[in-house]
């Protein structure tokens, strides 16, 4: 008698090495999986909830300054080094991995207004209220040596901002005018003035490296070309812009932080209306910095919060605040796209994660896959009300929350009034002005 035994080839279900994934004999026929949508919905919901659970963005605070932190600079060649200048003229170099100050130097009398690291990373420049530009070595002086700047340039007026060219030995300062300096000379190689103003910030375009933009106190943003003798164009807005930042990946976009609680992203070719108006802050925005990928930017505000905006979205995706953080004066996004650094009034520098719920460090392949999958799920179901509710929920300090509400009411009231005026006047006499156009007064050629 022959006995038939059920037998299978182990090759069909046993993996070759233990590093392989398990063989899963599975039928992917969609007819056999009727509940796929609901199952994925549950997964997405769980992923969203977990994201909120793990969202702990605050990493560390760097304590040591004896006055408010007025400016910061990223090291161009080193991720773990940060420079910060305070209102008492002190400059500190920080080691971010160890959370400690490695060097302190008294750079100026009065405020350190601006600071920038040379593209090679061997030295840095500072400007201060004492009308000087100083160049310092990045390395600490040896034992017994005195802390002395490499170069000191005495200016006629106070310098308020500073930026360095991406590749050349050229830097720009702003004060009463915008000056372009050669590192080897003690007088500017070019000065731009356009009416009598004081400028608050000047920035080189990191992509088209010969272009600059500056914010002036006459509520204008002025564009320059380093090679030309005259400025290029100027846009005047309803309120003053404090700082601006160019997109490091897209040559013609820049974002400015404005006193009217908003940020504006402009296309430099079409200054007559901003591309996007970013609103969410409830007080003046003091500083802005792009992520190195050019996809997002972070803004620091007088309302004691930091917000992260996608570059083409009108509202922020994230808001960071802590109880003790006062007015945030300066902000930087680290050049590996992982961290955010904020310097605030109460003498502290804070280190944040750029993605609040992201796990830091090296991920195992399976961890990474799971993270990617849950990210995609969240994206897929982001419009579903429950998921949306959880994903968008943020805790805000009471005053900011109420101020937001108040602003909303004010805005609505204004809108209603305008609508009523339009309704009761001759058709066409009260034109509809879009939000983008509202804030631009004029463009001066």
SS3 content of the chain, % helix, strand, coil (to 5): 20, 35, 45
Quote the least distance from Cβ 176 to another protein, whole Å.
19
Rounded Cα gap, residues 117 and 131, in angstroms? 19
Beta bridge partners of 216: 199
Half-sphere exposure of 404 (CA within 13 A, CB side): 14
Nearer of residues 232 and 239 to another protein, judged by Cβ = 232
Who contacts 415 (Cβ-Cβ below 8 Å, separation ≥6)? Answer: none
d(CA 419, CA 179): 47
Burial of 365 (0-12, 13-18, 19+ CB in 10 A): exposed
Nearer residue to another protein within complex by CB, 430 or 440: 440
As measured in angstroms, the least distance from the Cβ of 61 to another protein is: 22
Note the residues at the interface with another protein (CB under 8 A).
21, 26, 28, 30, 33, 36-37, 39-41, 43, 76-77, 79, 166, 206-209, 211, 223, 225, 228-233, 248-252, 268-269, 292-295, 335-338, 362, 369, 372-373, 375-377, 380-381, 383-386, 445
Nearer to another protein, 120 or 433 (CB): 120
Report yes or no: 302 and 283 within 8 Å, Cβ to Cβ: yes
- 435 φ/ψ angles, rounded to the nearest 5 degrees: -60, -35
Shortest gap between Cβ of 5 and another protein (angstroms)? Answer: 32
Q: Which is nearer to another protein, 198 or 375 (CB)?
A: 375
Question: Is 207 or 396 the residue whose CB approaches another protein more closely?
Answer: 207
Classify the C-alpha dihedral 258-260-263-266 as positive or negative.
negative
Minimum distance of another protein from residue 195's CB (angstroms): 11
Nearer to another protein, 39 or 402 (CB): 39
Give the separation between CA 357 and CA 380, rounded to whole angstroms.
18
What are the beta bridge partners of residue 47? Answer: none
In the complex, least distance from residue 233 CB atom to another protein, rounded to whole angstroms: 5
Distances, alpha carbon 301 to alpha carbons 2, 120, 225, 265, 342, in Å: 85, 31, 30, 17, 10
Least gap, CB of 198 to another protein (angstroms): 21
Nearer to another protein, 326 or 375 (CB): 375
CB of 70 vs another protein, minimal distance in Å: 25
Q: Which is nearer to another protein, 239 or 390 (CB)?
A: 390
Instruction: Please name which of 401, 399, 387, 395 lies closest in space to residue 280, comparing C-alpha atoms.
Output: 401
- Is the CB of residue 214 less than 8 Å from the CB of residue 178? yes
Minimum distance from residue 319 beta carbon to another protein (Å):
21
């Amino acid at each position: 008698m022959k006995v038939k035994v059920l037998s299978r080839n182990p090759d069909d279900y046993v993996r070759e090495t233990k590093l392989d994934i398990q063989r899963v004999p599975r039928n992917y026929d969609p007819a056999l999986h009727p509940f796929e949508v609901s199952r994925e919905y549950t997964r997405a919901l769980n992923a969203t909830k977990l994201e909120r659970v793990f969202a702990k963005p605050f990493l560390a605070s760097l304590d040591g300054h004896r006055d408010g932190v007025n400016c910061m600079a990223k090291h161009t060649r080193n991720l773990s080094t940060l420079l910060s200048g305070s209102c008492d003229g002190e400059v500190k170099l920080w080691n971010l991995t160890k959370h400690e100050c490695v060097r302190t130097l008294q750079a100026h009398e009065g405020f350190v207004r601006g600071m920038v690291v040379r593209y090679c990373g061997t030295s840095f420049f500072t400007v201060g209220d004492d009308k000087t530009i100083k160049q310092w070595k990045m390395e600490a002086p040896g034992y017994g040596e005195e802390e002395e700047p490499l170069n000191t340039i005495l200016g006629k007026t106070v310098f308020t901002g500073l930026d360095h060219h991406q590749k050349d030995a050229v830097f720009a300062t702003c004060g009463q005018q915008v000056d372009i300096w050669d590192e080897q000379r003690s007088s500017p190689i070019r000065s731009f003035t356009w009416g009598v103003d004081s400028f608050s910030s000047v920035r080189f375009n990191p992509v088209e490296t010969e272009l600059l933009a500056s914010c002036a106190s006459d509520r204008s943003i002025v564009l320059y070309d380093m090679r030309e003798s005259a400025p290029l164009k100027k846009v005047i807005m309803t309120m003053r812009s404090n700082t601006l930042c160019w997109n490091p990946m897209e040559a013609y976009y820049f974002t400015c932080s404005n006193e009217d609680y908003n940020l504006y992203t402009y296309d430099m070719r079409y200054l007559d209306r901003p591309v996007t108006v970013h609103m969410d802050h409830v007080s003046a925005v003091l500083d802005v910095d792009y992520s190195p990928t050019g996809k997002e930017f972070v803004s620091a505000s007088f309302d004691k919060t930091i917000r992260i905006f996608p570059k083409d979205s009108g509202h922020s995706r994230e808001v960071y605040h802590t109880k003790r953080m006062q007015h945030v004066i300066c902000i930087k996004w680290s050049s590996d796209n992982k961290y955010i650094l904020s310097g605030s009034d109460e003498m502290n520098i804070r280190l944040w994660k750029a993605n609040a719920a992201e796990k830091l460090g090296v991920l195992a392949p399976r961890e990474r896959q799971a993270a990617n999958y849950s990210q995609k799920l969240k994206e897929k179901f982001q419009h579903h009300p429950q998921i949306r509710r959880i994903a968008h929920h943020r805790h805000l300090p009471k005053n900011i929350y109420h101020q937001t509400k108040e602003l909303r009411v004010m805005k609505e009231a204004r809108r209603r009034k305008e609508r009523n005026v339009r309704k009761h006047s001759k058709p066409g006499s009260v034109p509809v002005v879009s939000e983008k156009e509202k804030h631009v007064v004029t463009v001066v050629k």
